[in-house]
Structure 1
């Protein structure tokens, strides 16, 4: 999780404006970076790079520090001021709480006499519910409360002090006013008024009822009145009243005051007694101590979170501007000053320890371990409540598009839809629902119309068309359509026995279809996901890519070629789904420092997408369509021969597309046409390779080597799918990858590929492939093998441009296999290989493959998209044609050279 998100997640919502402005500081750092780059270019143009200038005209670290440090100082002053105010309030409240606990100790159980004889006559249900609920939540206060409460309510009393004390006990639940609140103040009880009332009601008791003046920190007015009242009584009169009070207590039959010995110096105290008065007093102190503990913990978290914010923003500043401000600012400015100094941290720790001791005294009867457990439980519940409410509300606003950065954009066509009047009322049909309805209608029609000879082939054709419509329109998720295919093939009894040609029963067809769905190809796909996850988690991909890009220099054309090469290479090993996302992140420093309206920005973004698509054909595990092609080949192609064809084809395509982009965008020119553009050099990662990174690298190289020479090792290793188990065991077994990493694999792609395999097997088993082969053979009859290659290349390019590359391979690989099998010399493997490679070249539209979809959403600092549909039409379509021709010419020649 990024620190900006972590800050929102862990911050106290009501204090949000008092935290470090991390996002604003980060944006300013990027502005400094751009100014540095512009100043460096100007100084080189003026041949004055050796002169020190200001930031607008130079790039010295002193200049950037002079601009950035005042912003840090302002944030530090804001945080320090807020902390000082909060700390003083909390420590003052803690001191008051200690005084109240001491005064309650002095009052002891004698005040329970007034409570027991008091008029708890306002017998409303709300008060009873409040008492019973609070006791039920605390196991230390729950025993005996119900019975005693019932007896208390049944008692008749004539004492005038009962109503007064009852009202006081009710009023103590009123919230205590604070300038900033971090939790509900409903439970923040003011005990001072209650204790003052008790002292006024029983001022004649000859026991000490107040703390000496030198121990009182901040007594309130009621406390001072009670103290003066008690001092005004003479000792003799006090003893007389005390004797009368003792006599009345002895005559009580209520169990609320157990015995006189406890009131006159026994071992039982207000904190250990089971009387209703004692338990209510413990409850009130428990609530106030708990709330204060939560507040102190929140303030301590506030300090730690802000310190992390300063440390991370300084690290980013040093990295972007190539300075060394972090160490000096942290050690010389922050750490010696409140709230980040050791003294402030010690005060908060001491406050927490004091509250822990108070809680153990007032609630858990001296059990410190139990007090610590209860306080931590309350703290966890409070944090969980805040995160569950605030964080969910924030994410909900983002998903609804209210924050400007929606997590899941809503398709406006699906929101509006088409309203249709039916006999049962009006029905709103969205675009996706219309496609589902159309697919279902076509499916039912094809099932009932004999369009092909043979019932199995006709039904399989209906399934093929139905799945194609749903895949092409994405009316439902692609993998859901794939999951429907085996069910339809079994229910419609499409599968036939390869020996007898008879229909298989549903039970036998189920076993057969599931046995072919999880093939070695699927295990190879999972092995590829494992390698990609390991390379990404250990940052090997980032280290290698930044080191390569750091060698590209500052010339736009060379940087563009280097970035395309890196994107293509990354797509070979971490899939063309993750590779473009990684590359867009790495080139952000370049994009941030470009002049406004520079052509290099859209050129670079589009180049990454096109190169990632080309990288999808470079290795067998780089995209699912390659694996589907391998699955259809007989015998399967080994990795060495795949690389022998794919690598030269990919390299040639990259170079030609690079030339196309240079001609189309002319990225080296400045927007005003004066001078040439200079690109900010990307700095390599400073960290060296760790032991874990070396382990991942070795396992990956061994696995890829075995895949390359699998044909020669077939008697020992069995199949490429078995080799794919090696990285799974090596990485998950040694802890490089965790269970969560396994759960994050693209399982939707896995099931999509499994559905494609099932459909291909169904097309073959039902006899539909033979029927299609006759039709295609009639179309290409009389054409030379190379003419067939050109025709097939055009068909594959058009189909893969408008639908998913994986789905295109699912539909077209069986056709290529059938057509190739009828050509002289059985060129099925050649046409399958050709089809798999060309599926990756369909990149003329924004929806043509995931790299294009990612590129189409990239925005500049002003929120403007880098690319438009015209960019894809002007450059993506020609790039697709170029890459297809390279496969159909150079690729075809290399395929013949390796014996296909």
Structure 2
């Protein structure tokens, strides 16, 4: 289908389906409105017929036009504190990149391997996951990929083809998994946290164990599948782009500010009480970091503007507004009752596993942020009495699962970046990724069931 016809056709079909859903729900007029909006927005988000951020702006327009919310109520969620928390994360990432601290860390990891290629690759996987907790997985992969390509520069593609695939997929998968660890690591985390009122430290108590468990298991599974054979000779890292860190007062101050901000986030519950800030202390700290970095000249507005994904921030606002629409119209309860009736005889752990699996495979084809904005509030609305699973665990499980798409190049930017090297065939990524997907589903289900 020609691209110029695809967009209007999808918008037309989405409108028709939204109206159809609205007309089919006769028992509750308000719920019908909410479900109609949900259907329309879901199709646009999942197909990306128009940019997902533009669709996010449609949510408050539709909510006001249908009389569900006032203009003030509909737009207030675009100033939700979680948005400013993520903005602070973008500012820190921009500062680390501007002063080359991220590259310094990557090179230090290679140096620690003392010239051993096998050890260097494992260290880089760990460093990629750690850095991805604080800056976007896309930026992390873009930074680590030249380092990894440099390390593998002299490998024979015929003899060590599987080794190349192992190392490249390892970087992409480590970036995806690392983002699970913190609120600023991946947008779905923040969407769930905003609904659950979780602070930075509370999320880390859930996310870090997942990273610690999932990362070695994923790398181990890749190792078993690909059986990489590392050459006898070691590497001294001479093939990756040369880099010499020049520690200036500005770069040192950036590192100090980064350390202070992370410490305040980690101990927010204790420190916020002393300062008398009872709610959203993490966002307060994030705004302070933005002002301090920009006001001191350590970060220019151009660098901050270039690094900040403003579309993601709009998507947060749209997702939170959609959650409010579903709540105000009781559409979420309608969906909850429907889901429960379909799976009423299913054991709790099976229901949790199905919810996680749905998100994992959905995000192979759709934006993980949009999918999380769509499904997290729905699963959170399911009562414990009907599913046997705490709504909080369902919301967390679905949000984390949004970062676990490993099969297709289109699933995540890290997957696309390593696929773009031309060293990995799509069938190799699918073969490895489907098993890693299944591993993630099992690990998440077991981990959350035991909490």
| TM-score (normalised: structure 2) | 0.91
Is residue 268 of structure 2 the alignment partner of residue 710 of structure 1? yes
Q: Which residue of 1 aligns with 2:206?
A: 645
Q: Which residue of 2 aligns with 1:883?
A: 440
Measured in 2, the distance between the counterparts of 1:808 and 1:649 equals 20
Q: 1:439 Cα deviation (Å)?
A: 1.8
8 A Cα contact 1:649 1:891, kept in partner: no
Measured in 1, the distance between the counterparts of 2:17 and 2:129 equals 40
Is residue 6 of structure 2 the alignment partner of residue 431 of structure 1? yes
Q: 1:848 Cα deviation (Å)?
A: 1.0
Summarize deviations over 1:451-488 as a string: whole Å, max 9, x none. 35322211221111111111111111111111111101
Is residue 255 of structure 2 the alignment partner of residue 697 of structure 1? yes
Summarize deviations over 1:109-148 as a string: whole Å, max 9, x none. xxxxxxxxxxxxxxxxxxxxxxxxxxxxxxxxxxxxxxxx
Of 9, 14, 18, 1:443 maps to: 18
Summarize deviations over 1:204-253 as a string: whole Å, max 9, x none. xxxxxxxxxxxxxxxxxxxxxxxxxxxxxxxxxxxxxxxxxxxxxxxxxx
Q: Which residue of 1 aligns with 2:300?
A: 738
Is residue 378 of structure 2 the alignment partner of residue 815 of structure 1? yes
Of 46, 63, 70, 1:489 maps to: 63
Query: Alpha carbons of 1:821 and 1:735: their partners in 2 closer, same or farther (altered >3 Å)?
Result: farther
Query: Alpha carbons of 1:493 and 1:537: their partners in 2 closer, same or farther (altered >3 Å)?
Result: same
8 A Cα contact 2:189 2:399, kept in partner: yes
Measured in 2, the distance between the counterparts of 1:778 and 1:531 equals 46
Q: Which residue of 2 aligns with 1:853?
A: 416
8 A Cα contact 2:14 2:43, kept in partner: yes
Q: Which residue of 2 aligns with 1:16?
A: none
Measured in 2, the distance between the counterparts of 1:879 and 1:873 equals 10
8 A Cα contact 1:564 1:608, kept in partner: yes
Of 414, 423, 427, 1:870 maps to: 427
Summarize deviations over 1:621-654 as a string: whole Å, max 9, x none. 0111000000110xx2233332233222212211
Structure having greater relative contact order (Cα 8 Å, sep ≥ 6): 2
| Ranges of 4+ aligned residues in structure 1 off by more than 6 Å | none
Which structure's CA Rg is the greater one? Answer: 1
Is residue 211 of structure 2 the alignment partner of residue 655 of structure 1? no
Q: 1:870 Cα deviation (Å)?
A: 0.4
Q: 1:438 Cα deviation (Å)?
A: 2.1
Summarize deviations over 1:551-578 as a string: whole Å, max 9, x none. 2244443233222112111111111121
Measured in 1, the distance between the counterparts of 2:439 and 2:233 equals 28
Is residue 128 of structure 2 the alignment partner of residue 567 of structure 1? yes
Measured in 2, the distance between the counterparts of 1:667 and 1:791 equals 33
Is residue 146 of structure 2 the alignment partner of residue 585 of structure 1? yes
8 A Cα contact 1:547 1:685, kept in partner: no
Measured in 1, the distance between the counterparts of 2:220 and 2:374 equals 33
Of 536, 540, 543, 2:97 maps to: 536
Q: Which residue of 2 aligns with 1:687?
A: 245
Q: 1:782 Cα deviation (Å)?
A: 4.4
Q: 1:695 Cα deviation (Å)?
A: 1.1
Measured in 2, the distance between the counterparts of 1:751 and 1:625 equals 13
Is residue 284 of structure 2 the alignment partner of residue 722 of structure 1? yes
Q: Which residue of 1 aligns with 2:157?
A: 596
8 A Cα contact 1:457 1:768, kept in partner: yes
Summarize deviations over 1:578-626 as a string: whole Å, max 9, x none. 1111111222322332223332223222211111111121111011100
Q: Which residue of 1 aligns with 2:360?
A: 797
Query: Alpha carbons of 1:677 and 1:658: their partners in 2 closer, same or farther (altered >3 Å)?
Result: farther
Q: Which residue of 2 aligns with 1:461?
A: 35
8 A Cα contact 2:340 2:387, kept in partner: no
8 A Cα contact 1:610 1:876, kept in partner: no
Q: 1:783 Cα deviation (Å)?
A: 4.1
Partner of 1:681, secondary structure, is coil
Q: Which residue of 2 aligns with 1:163?
A: none
Partner of 1:847, secondary structure, is coil
8 A Cα contact 1:668 1:677, kept in partner: no
Q: 1:665 Cα deviation (Å)?
A: 2.3
What 5-or-longer segments of structure 1 have no aligned partner?
A: 1-412, 418-428, 496-508, 671-675, 859-864
What 5-or-longer segments of structure 2 have no aligned partner?
A: none
Query: Alpha carbons of 1:677 and 1:879: their partners in 2 closer, same or farther (altered >3 Å)?
Result: farther
Measured in 2, the distance between the counterparts of 1:713 and 1:775 equals 43
Measured in 2, the distance between the counterparts of 1:874 and 1:794 equals 17
Of 170, 180, 191, 1:607 maps to: 170
Measured in 1, the distance between the counterparts of 2:310 and 2:116 equals 41
8 A Cα contact 2:344 2:387, kept in partner: no
Where do 1:30-69 residues align within 5 Å?
A: none
| TM-score (normalised: structure 1) | 0.47
Partner of 1:587, secondary structure, is helix
Is residue 194 of structure 2 the alignment partner of residue 631 of structure 1? yes
8 A Cα contact 1:820 1:828, kept in partner: yes
Partner of 1:467, secondary structure, is helix
Query: Alpha carbons of 1:686 and 1:588: their partners in 2 closer, same or farther (altered >3 Å)?
Result: same
8 A Cα contact 1:820 1:831, kept in partner: no
Measured in 2, the distance between the counterparts of 1:546 and 1:452 equals 63
Q: Which residue of 2 aligns with 1:361?
A: none
Where do 1:331-410 residues align within 5 Å?
A: none
8 A Cα contact 1:557 1:667, kept in partner: no
8 A Cα contact 1:820 1:830, kept in partner: no
8 A Cα contact 1:646 1:891, kept in partner: no
Q: 1:527 Cα deviation (Å)?
A: 0.7
Q: 1:821 Cα deviation (Å)?
A: 4.6
Q: 1:824 Cα deviation (Å)?
A: 8.5
Measured in 2, the distance between the counterparts of 1:788 and 1:665 equals 32
Cα RMSD, aligned residues only: 2.3
Measured in 2, the distance between the counterparts of 1:799 and 1:563 equals 29
Q: 1:678 Cα deviation (Å)?
A: 4.2
Where do 1:183-262 residues align within 5 Å?
A: none
Partner of 1:668, secondary structure, is coil
